[in-house]
Chain A
Amino acid sequence: MPTTSHPSFIHATLAVVRKDLTAEFRSRELLSAMLVFSLLVILIFNFALELNVKERQSVTAGVLWTTFAFAGTLGLNRSMAVEKDRGCLDGLLLAPVDRAAIYFGKVISNLAFMFMVEAFVLPIYAALYNVNLFHPGLLLVILLGSIGYTTVGTLLASMTVQARTRDVLLPILLFPVAIPVLLSAVKASTGFLNGADMAEIWPPLNLLIVYDLIFTAVAFMVFDNVVEE
């Protein structure tokens, strides 16, 4: 007979992350879609914005974040749809674990996918446009921005997969609410890339931190309401 105990919060969270990563590294459906899509977005921007040397200075951060945001919704949609389609969400909810552990598990795996896409896009963008993007400050902004975006995105994606108009609904719900993240991330990234004063970079950075804290806390509190009947 099996020995059972209530798994701890951390264990349950890690179990979800491990499950997601194992499944994804096998099928690579989600990552490949996100990566190809990001490349296409960058390609389109190249022609749409005539990315010449002078323009690049000011728009690089904007192009990058738009790419991350678009690719991000793709991944968020897919990652929650996998749970919903085979009824796996019920399977998760039936386990004797805190629902917040499931939520954080999903957030961490979605975040991992985001980071992988970003790690792929950055060098490619740097190579294509001959700009140096390896600035530790920029990496910090990407970290904070991605956290904010996925925290809210995962919560909203768990709502939209339960709606009739699911696929089209996520970006419509997510973008207006995520505008503070995207704007301050663009502002801070531009600041770092152009070597601006820290005095100019701190305000958006603070805003990102505040956003991350507020929305992580709120999502933590309301996630139960999103998955329970």
Chain B
Amino acid sequence: MTPKPVLLKILDYLSIVLLAVATYLALVYAPTEAVMGDVQRVFYFHIGTAWVGLLGFVFAAGLGIAYLVTKDMKWDIVEVAAVEISVVFFFITIVLGSVWARPAWNTWWTWDPRLTTAAVTELIYVAYFMLRAGIDDPERRARFGAVYALLGGLSAPLTFMAIRLFRSIHPVVIGAANENQDKMNMTGDMRVAFFFALFTFTVIFIDMFWNRIRLGQLQDKVEQLKLKVM
């Protein structure tokens, strides 16, 4: 049993500290947005979680390829770790987006391309876990998981493009969605909070990713020991 690496411990604490600072920056330090008011503060974490969520899914597709090429179970462990963390972060993104949409667009949910793609992507990865749950042989589970992660990773950008085709049908909502672009006129303080949030969530992602990979390896070891006893 290998002890937890020191660097990982440091990363754990660093994540907590960063998260606290990022929260402070988003909720207190950044100035209140003129049009939206305080609810705009959700945006810093919304983008932060969305960024790492996407990062994980792109990773997963790449790791799927790595597994299919090498057939090495270590890639499978890493792939599951990436998808698992991203599913959670993406869920947070969607919830935060919804919180923001309520006052901004006057509805909890709109069929905006970004939102819808996020929801579909989330469903793809929920399906990913259902597929894995239905297969007992770990090696086959890894292969099918890799194939599906790859398919999911490829179809997500196409989904985004396909949904954008429907812009003309929902003009009102899409007009409102363009407020995202307006956001880019951030003041200096806002920018600090924004980039700090991005940085924070990247660190948290790395930390959780690492922890989750370690957990996967420990699970493996437990399985191995169990088999030895039997």
Contacts and interface: CB of A to CB of B under 8 A. Distances in A.
Q: Say if the two chains contact directly (CB < 8 Å).
A: yes
B162 A229 contact: no
B146 interface: yes
Given A156-B151, A176-B120, 4 more contacts: A183-B162, A183-B163, A187-B166, A215-B154
B168 to A, nearest CB: 8
Nearest to B142: A225
B158 A210 contact: yes
Contacts of B130: 165, 169, 172-173
A47 B40 CA distance: 43
Contacts of B186: none
Interface string A206-222: 01001100110010001
B68 A180 contact: no
B109 interface: no
A164 B166 contact: no
A105 interface: no
B144 A226 contact: yes
B51 to A, nearest CB: 22
B68 A204 contact: no
B123 A218 contact: no
B144 to A, nearest CB: 5
Given A152-B151, A179-B120, A222-B147, A165 B165 contact: no
Contacts of A229: 139-140
Interface string B135-150: 1100110011011101
Interface in B144-183: 144, 146-148, 150-152, 154-155, 158-159, 161-163, 165-166, 168
Given A164-B135, A165-B134, A187-B166, A172 B127 contact: yes
B222 interface: no
A226 B123 contact: no
A177 interface: yes
A99 to B, nearest CB: 14
A207 B124 contact: no
A180 B165 CA distance: 10
Interface of A: 152, 155-156, 159-160, 162-166, 169, 172-173, 176-180, 183-184, 187, 200, 203-204, 207, 210-211, 214-215, 218, 222, 225-226, 229
B131 interface: yes
Q: Is the interface of A mostly helix, strand, loop or mixed?
A: helix
Contacts of B154: 214-215, 218
A20 B135 CA distance: 27
A222 B150 contact: yes
Given A179-B162, A207-B158, A215-B154, A225 B148 contact: no
A177 B143 contact: no
Nearest to A183: B162
Contacts of A160: 131, 134
16 contacts: A156-B148, A156-B151, A163-B131, A164-B134, A176-B152, A177-B124, A179-B159, A179-B162, A180-B155, A180-B162, A184-B165, A204-B162, A218-B151, A218-B154, A226-B143, A226-B144
Nearest to A188: B165
Contacts of A187: 162, 165-166
